[in-house]
Amino acid sequence: MTAAPVLSIRGLTVAFGTRKRPTPIVNGVDLDLVPGRIQGLAGESGSGKTVTAMSVLGLLPRTAQLGGSVRLGETELLGLRRRDLSRIRGRRIAMVFQDPSASLHPQLTIGHQLTDHVRTHLGLSRTEARQRAVDLLERVHVPDPADALGRYPHQFSGGQRQRIAIAIALACEPEVVLADEPTTALDVTVQAGILHLLRDLALERQLAVLLVTHDLGVMSAIADDVAVMRHGTIVERGPREQIFTRPEHPYTRELLTALPESDFTDERARTALAERDSADDPEVGP
Amino acid sequence: MKPRRLRRAVFARIPRAWLTPLAIIGLVVALAWIVVAFTASSFIPFSPTEQSLPRLQPPGGEALLGTDGLGRDVFSRLMAGAGVTIPLALLLVAVSTLVGVIVGAIAGFFGRWVDEALMRVTDLVMAFPTVILAMVIAASLGPSLFNAVIAGIVVSWPQYARVTRSLVLSLRTQNYVVAGRLLGYSPLRSLLRDILPNIAGPVLVLAALDIGTAILLLSGLSFLGLGAQPPTAEWGSMISEAMRNFDSWWIGVFPGLAILTVVMAFNFLGDSLRDILDPTSQTERESAGVAHAPAQAAGSDR
Amino acid sequence: MSDLLQVEDLVVEYGGRHPVRAVDGISLTVRAGEVLALVGESGCGKSSTARAVVGMEKPAGGAVRYHGEPVPPLGLRTRAAALTAMQMVFQDPNSSLNPRKRVAAQVADGVAAARARGAGGPQEAGHWLEQVGLDRALAARYPHQLSGGQRQRVAIARSIAARPDLIVADEPISALDASSQAGVAAMMRRLCLDAGAGMLFISHDLSVVRQIADRTAVMYRGRIVESGATEVVWNDPVHPYTRALLAAIPRADGKGNLPQAPAAEAPAEWASEVPEALERA
């Protein structure tokens, strides 16, 4: 809408299982990530939202069968060799995970992890890299950054670890950030701070952010645009306010009705919800 | 059309892990030996103990695999030997498992001094080298196959006790076990209904892997003269007798091959059983779909 | 109204020589026909409290009384029949059910407990499955053939089949999909009140708690910092921690409002004692 997208996903399909009998997980997803905007991808467990994010970075197991297209600027990412992809990963596209421990090495100091990254990708000198690391930690509000460089991940609280993981993600000035449930493992009081940080960073650094979360409260707080995913397809998409106040798809209406902290309610969605678990789920076969 | 559908239905029920070549070889060979063990007497051409043929005949003549130094048919002795060693090995493993599970369950469930006492006993047994301890026991009981089995049981129950104890300890705090206790389950009932059925898998794997070891142990003791006594056709003692006629290779090689194949078959079988029942391998399989396959789909594959 | 459950100055500690104090002297009561929510963030001691209440944890101090009698630790003795009227619902639906037993048999365990106590009530598993909004046909299934939400409902069915007068629920909805959380919580409240039972509902999700709890107690670092009628606590929080907690909940209104973030991580004032924040009505 505003600017040209840096990352375009077109007709993305992902299937697992054997070639003869693949189990489709994602069925034709289109998404555009625009600089300075946060694109939300909402859905419940099993909707395929995480798989969508992972496929952008080639982080899926080799058995995954991918189709469609993922373009970063002029580069087609699907089918790219692992080596080329790993050059893009971290450098141009960074990822923030639910569990910050996943992106932090437990036995290396924070400083080591931050400067290593910067030096390999940007070719900075040791002192330059160190200064950059201090700046980054300061930016993500880790107290006493110079001291923090010499410490190990386990010496920080969960919230601080997530801030450090974000600093590492930003270290090489990526254009795109994929954030997969970045606050789900955190307490609400800690989550609030991380949400502020993500919102500010997206604007200030003109990051194109894909925010994957099941938490519609989080979505409502920081996403600019929202896509709702179910069974591997996007059932509804639009600007945040429209999705939250005038949802059209019955599934979106159900999700919002079920939420105590949302203002939206719909009687038909309420009855549909009540029947969801009780009904014999066809996907569960004896 | 119909047989094809039937075949698909049958194969769909067999877990993927079963269909590896090693698993199939293991299953076929082990089953073949078990069948031989129980039917040998009906198809062997000669008596395994009667010295009715010319001595030291090479394979290929009247005696399919030749004859030994006493004029006995090697093939007949080989087949009859399966009937001696395999059932006794199965018995050995079954009794050790039973004893080990009972001891381990009591130790794990009651804890405190009961646990301390029982675990010190298992440590004591496990501190000795298995084969040497078995030799000492078999020798002191007097050489016989039955005593060899008893020696085998004495040396192998502790591993089952250890594994059972640690599994019971980890399951004891599972929510469903606690839920059962809150519903008024007695400790014994909790153990029998909530805990033991859920540790059966890993214990069975251990037992399956142990069958090969048991066969080796029984043959080994017989080889040393501490197990089967002449003229019983037992693989270990056949090899031992072959040493007296070193030039006649067939007397020792065939029982050796028999031991090799049966031990490997049971080990393959145990390995694939472990792959099937191992919860981590299961998660791996699910995680292909998982990470976000419908939660239900993950749950539906058995 | 008599107190079903009385917790007085409960202390729970873990570890041997240098124990960590998870619960640091809390008191609360649950009466018949009411839902008391115990809320707080990770590590505040709310789950340890739940475990101590049912006897899974031996208190290092204080007392837990159920119908006026101390609750014995869940050791090697069989629970007295009278105590099976206290039931627990766990957080993780995957480990709450015995993987090797059919749903019907697990619910039947609950029925058997009620009968052993002399409490009547419907015998068939199907009835209790319907009570929790599940199809009767699920009775023949094994747990792995159910979705997470269905498993949790079966666990709830098993506990209510025991005709409890007190349910202790430890984060019973946090492992469920967001769309079923509020529904399951509301169902638990309804089942409880219909049976005239009381419930201690432990959760970190204040917006759900607001909908189902009569009274709320907010825990921080092993202590209750604020408690009282749910609406009072929610609308007019007094303690600095409660205020920060409520302000940090993002509202799904689509307006893009960022929740308020505390100025620092765990400021000292959160641990302060505010006497007027307790027992608010």
Chains with 3+ CB–CB pairs under 8 A to B are: A, C
Range with lowest mean pLDDT among A129-133, A203-207, A258-262, A276-280:
A276-280
Alpha helices in A123-239 (DSSP H): 126-139, 145-148, 158-170, 188-204, 216-222
Residue B185 in contact with partner chain C when CB distance is under 8 A: yes
Higher pLDDT, B2 or A39: A39
Interface size between B and C, measured as CB pairs under 8 A: 74
Mean pLDDT lowest among A73-77, B61-65, B80-84, C3-7 = B61-65
Q: Which amino acid is at B251?
A: I
B194 to chain C: which residues are within 8 Å by CB? 98
Consecutive H or E run containing A95: strand A93-96
Q: How confident is the model at residue B287 (pLDDT cuts 50, 70, 90)?
A: very low
Whether B183 and C109 have beta carbons less than 8 Å apart is answered as yes
Query: CA of C110, closest CA in chain B: separation in Å?
Result: 6
User: Which residues of A fall within a CB distance of 8 Å from C245?
Assistant: 188-189
Cβ C178–A44 below 8 Å, yes or no?
A: yes
Distance from CA of C114 to the nearest CA of B (A): 9
Is the CB of A61 less than 8 angstroms away from the CB of B297?
A: no
Buried b (16+ CB within 10 A) or exposed e, A119-145: bebeeeeeeebbebbbebbebbbbeeb
Would you give the distance in Å from CA C187 to the centre of its chain?
A: 14
Interface test with chain C among A235, A277, A278, A280, by most C beta carbons within 10 Å: A277
Asked whether the predicted pLDDT for residue A273 surpasses 80, the reply is no
- B299 Cβ under 8 Å from any chain A Cβ: yes
Look at residue A285 and tell me whether its pLDDT is greater than 70. Answer: no
Shortest CA gap C142–chain B (Å) = 10
- Confidence check: pLDDT of B296 > 70: no
Residues of chain A positioned with their CB less than 8 A from the CB of C177: 44-45, 214
CA distance C214 to chain B (A): 26
Chain C positions in Cβ-Cβ contact with residue A219 (cut-off 8 Å): 252
Phi, psi of A95 (to 5 degrees): -130, 140
- Residue ranges of C 110-169 with Cβ closer than 8 A to chain A: 133-135, 137-138, 140-141, 145-150, 153
- In the stretch 105-144 of chain C, residues with CB closer than 8 A to chain B read 109-110, 112-113, 116, 144
Contact A259 C177 (CB under 8 A): no
Kindly report the number of other CB atoms within 10 A of residue C39's CB atom: 26
Chain A nearest-CA distance from B298, in A, is: 9
User: In this predicted structure, what is the pLDDT of residue C54?
Assistant: 95
pLDDT category at B16 given cuts 50, 70, 90 is low
Residues of A whose CB is below 8 A from B295: 45-46
The pLDDT value recorded for residue B11 is: 57
Check whether B298 has a pLDDT greater than 90. Answer: no
In tens digits, what is the pLDDT along chain C, a chain of 281 residues? Answer: 468 999 999 999 998 788 899 999 999 999 999 999 999 998 899 999 999 999 999 999 999 999 999 999 988 889 999 999 999 999 998 899 999 899 999 999 999 999 999 887 888 999 999 999 999 999 999 998 888 889 999 999 999 999 999 999 999 998 888 888 988 999 999 999 999 999 999 999 888 999 999 999 999 999 999 999 999 999 999 999 999 999 999 988 888 888 988 887 788 889 888 888 898 88
* B157 vs B278, residue with greater confidence: B157
pLDDT for residue C24: 94
Kindly tell me if the per-residue pLDDT of B3 is higher than 90. Answer: no
Which pair of tokens denotes residue A96? Answer: 């923030």
Cβ-Cβ pairs closer than 8 A, A with B, add up to 42
Which residue in B293, B299, B300 is closest to A25 by CB distance? B293
pLDDT digits (tens, 9 = 90+) for A106-148: 899 999 888 887 787 777 888 888 888 999 999 999 989 989 9
Largest CA distance in chain B: 75
- Looking at the complex, report in whole angstroms how far the Cα of residue C57 sits from the nearest Cα belonging to chain A: 25
The C-alpha angle B294, B295, B296, rounded to 5 degrees, equals 90
> Which chain A residue shows the shortest CA-CA distance from C133?
A278
C100 shares contact with chain A (CB less than 8 Å): no
Does the distance separating the beta carbons of B194 and C145 come in below 8 Å?
no
**In the predicted structure, residue B164 carries a pLDDT above the cut 90:** yes
Quick check: B300 contacting A, CB < 8 Å?
yes
What is the rounded CA–CA span in Å between residue C202 and residue C171? 5
Q: Which of the four pLDDT bands, split at 50, 70 and 90, describes residue B4?
A: low
* Cα–Cα nearest to A97, from A146, A133, A57: A57
Give C63 to chain B, closest Cα distance, Å.
19
**Model confidence pLDDT, tens digit, residues B238-273:** 898 888 888 888 888 999 999 999 999 999 988 888
At C225, the amino acid letter reads V
Asked whether the beta carbons of residue A46 and residue B292 sit closer than 8 angstroms, the reply is yes
Q: In the prediction, which pLDDT does A35 show?
A: 95
pLDDT of residue B182: 95
pLDDT of residue B295: 33
Q: Please tell me which of the candidates C77, C84, C92 has its beta carbon nearest to residue B182.
A: C84
CB < 8 Å to B110, chain C: 76
What mean pLDDT is predicted for residues B184-201? 91
Tell me the pLDDT tens digit for each residue of B85-127.
Answer: 999 999 999 999 999 999 999 999 888 899 999 999 999 999 9
Q: Check residue A284 and give its pLDDT.
A: 38
* Cβ distance of B293 and A284 shorter than 8 Å: no
Q: What are the chain C neighbours of A256 within 8 Å (beta carbons)?
A: 252
A194-199 contacts at long range (C-beta below 8 A, 24 or more positions apart): A194/A159, A194/A162, A194/A163, A194/A166, A195/A221, A195/A222, A195/C250, A195/C258, A195/C259, A195/C261, A196/C258, A196/C261, A197/A140, A197/A141, A197/A163, A197/A166, A198/A38, A198/A166, A198/A222, A199/A38, A199/C258
Name the residue facing A157 among C245, C247, C265 (closest C-beta): C265
Q: List the single residue in B292, B299, B300 with the smallest CB-CB distance to A25.
A: B292
CA-based nearest residue to A51, from A238, A212, A214, A183: A212
Asked if A217 lies within 8 A of C250 by C-beta distance, the reply is yes
| CA–CA min distance C274, chain A (Å) | 20
Phi, psi dihedrals of residue A4, rounded to the nearest 5°: -70, 140
Q: Does B280 touch chain C (CB under 8 A)?
A: no
Name the pLDDT band for B290 (thresholds 50, 70, 90): very low
The pairing of strands A7-17 and A176-180 is unpaired
The pTM for the full model equals: 0.84
Residues from chain A contacting residue B285 (CB–CB below 8 Å): none
For chain B, what is the HEC assignment?
Answer: CHHHHHHHHHHHHCCHHHHCHHHHHHHHHHHHHHHHHHHHHHHCCCCCCCCCCCCCCCCCCCCCCCECCCCCEHHHHHHHHHHHHHHHHHHHHHHHHHHHHHHHHHHHHHCHHHHHHHHHHHHHHHHCCHHHHHHHHHHHHCCCHHHHHHHHHHHHHHHHHHHHHHHHHHHHCCHHHHHHHHCCCCHHHHHHHHHHHHHHHHHHHHHHHHHHHHHHHHHHHHHCCCCCCCCCCCHHHHHHHHHHHCCCCHHHHHHHHHHHHHHHHHHHHHHHHHHHHCHHHHHHHHHHHHCCCCHHHHHHCC
Contact assignment for A255 to C178 by CB distance below 8 Å: yes
For residue A125, the distance in angstroms to the closest alpha carbon of chain C comes to 34
CA-based nearest residue in chain A for residue B285: A17
- State the smallest CA–CA distance between residue A225 and chain B in angstroms: 23
Contact A16 B292 (CB under 8 A): no
Residues of B in contact with C112 (CB under 8 A): 183-184
Which one of A63, A281, A283 has the shortest CB-CB distance to B288?
A63
How much is the mean pLDDT over chain A? 87
Which residues is C164 bridged to in the sheet?
none
The pLDDT value recorded for residue B8 is 60
